[in-house]
Chain A
């Protein structure tokens, strides 16, 4: 059943790479966004909240197309980058960006739920004890929301592994370069006689996702024990 050819292995490796990089790069932004949403008051907050959550409800294809417009050769950000000699679209970096945008709402939501559970008095206490805002974020808010940050990261990682719609538009489906597991499966299903190959990759996909979820459970359990010492 497991007759994976070299391009399948490349797809698995690429998926892992894209999901890992996307998750790690998004983490600091996710934490800051959740912190701003939970602990600060400002006028445009509802709008900010809406924009962050938009990719959750938009079809990924729309997200991909908008990103293509933004990052393409003639897009304003893409133009800027190409002057610097950086090309993003149709590279694995584009797949990372697609995953970041699509997975970001999940990350922020999860972290936010954790932060909302923190008693604001604890933060006030840290401030009166001499901690600046950033210090208090690092020494009180982060440790107390570590479980939800972890949960959010896992969720985002899993979502990135499965990201398809935005990726295929902005990164294309180039074997060995931007072809991740879902894109490879898509290719196989369009190829006569590719069913068996598609199924093998599906099984890989299921196993990887399960491992990620079990790992998350394990870490969450450990955190729980540590905080209840």
Chain B
């Protein structure tokens, strides 16, 4: 997908300016609330008319103030998944799902409804009324409804924001699965860094109605190291948990990690802050922490007064943070060897 945007819109107390072109299928739009993310979504979908500028999607002009072109929302074939799902309350799940599908010309119906229902796990819900659904179910139905309209682009406008953490990370695998399987480009709008890292390849950062920069989600997470108290968040995909005494052992690539968190599913996602990874120059003979790795320093980056140390633990990446003085004391250099220890209780389950 190629999306070229050059827009301006004035509100009574807000001036929105955006000028960018992106190439890719998984674009993130990141910014705090009030940064203009939702304004962008509304203008792209044709729900709000910009004051001036142009929007082009894959070369086709959707909006051009000079040529007086402004396609209606239904002509753009851009679907939106809203923060609060906005399912039609008078229709059941099935009729909600097929709302867009029935309005798509048969020749353009690229998505197989049955396959989609299977991927999203919504077959058992089809006959239910939408008011009986849980928050997570509602979002899955809203996602299915948008996908079934076979759009050229899906705008995900903070679809996970209203959900609690547990639910949120249950939906993310569905999103990943659905978009890789059905191959539809999306623009994912969120103020959550973790969501960005799990879903977006390239990230546009907005601040106060302006595009502040474009970067990768990983880079964004690294910048957080210097500004945020929580540090850099490592996302670890841990597999095949097995009981180990009263603790649990998970497979992390070729490594074995000991966690206090019991495992039920085969695939799990945990987060761990860079602050919870302690570095040692030599092998500490004994430590209270349950996880000890001998690793290689693959890179060092400085953010503010903190230094991020990227480690390679048998092929798995991990970022720890230290202060400048510690770099001297430990003799940390790129390519050098080092020991990292992590407490079994430092991990937080995402899903």
Chain A interface residues toward B at CB < 8 A:
119, 121-122, 124-133, 135, 139-140, 143-144, 227-229
Contact = CB atoms under 8 A, between A and B. Distances in A.
Contacts of A125: 80, 82, 86, 88
Contacts, number: 70
Question: At the interface, is chain A mostly helix, strand, loop or mixed?
Answer: helix
A227 B103 contact: no
Contact of B99 (A126, A133, A228, A229): A126
Nearest first, the 4 closest Cβ-Cβ pairs linking A and B are: A129-B100, A130-B103, A127-B73, A229-B129
Nearest to A135: B103
B89 A144 contact: yes
B79 A121 contact: no
Contacts of B45: 124, 128
Contacts of A132: 72, 74
Contact of B79 (A128, A133, A139): A128
Contacts of B74: 127-132, 135
Nearest to B73: A127
Given A129-B100, A229-B129, A124 B90 contact: no
Contacts of B104: 130
B47 A129 contact: no
A128 B78 CA distance: 6
A140 B73 contact: no
A129 B90 contact: no
Interface string B94-129: 000001100110000000000000000000000001
Given A128-B146, A129-B79, 19 more contacts: A119-B86, A121-B84, A122-B88, A124-B73, A125-B80, A127-B73, A127-B74, A128-B73, A128-B79, A128-B80, A129-B99, A130-B74, A130-B100, A130-B103, A135-B74, A135-B103, A139-B99, A227-B89, A228-B129
8 contacts: A122-B89, A124-B47, A125-B82, A127-B46, A129-B100, A129-B149, A130-B103, A140-B88
Contacts of B215: none
A229 B73 CA distance: 30
A39 to B, nearest CB: 13
A53 B149 CA distance: 41
B306 interface: no
B192 interface: no
Nearest to A223: B90
A122 B78 CA distance: 16
Contacts of B103: 129-131, 135
B143 to A, nearest CB: 12
**Residue of A121, A143, A228 contacting most chain B CB atoms (<10 Å):** A121
A126 B131 contact: no
Contacts of A229: 92, 129, 131-132
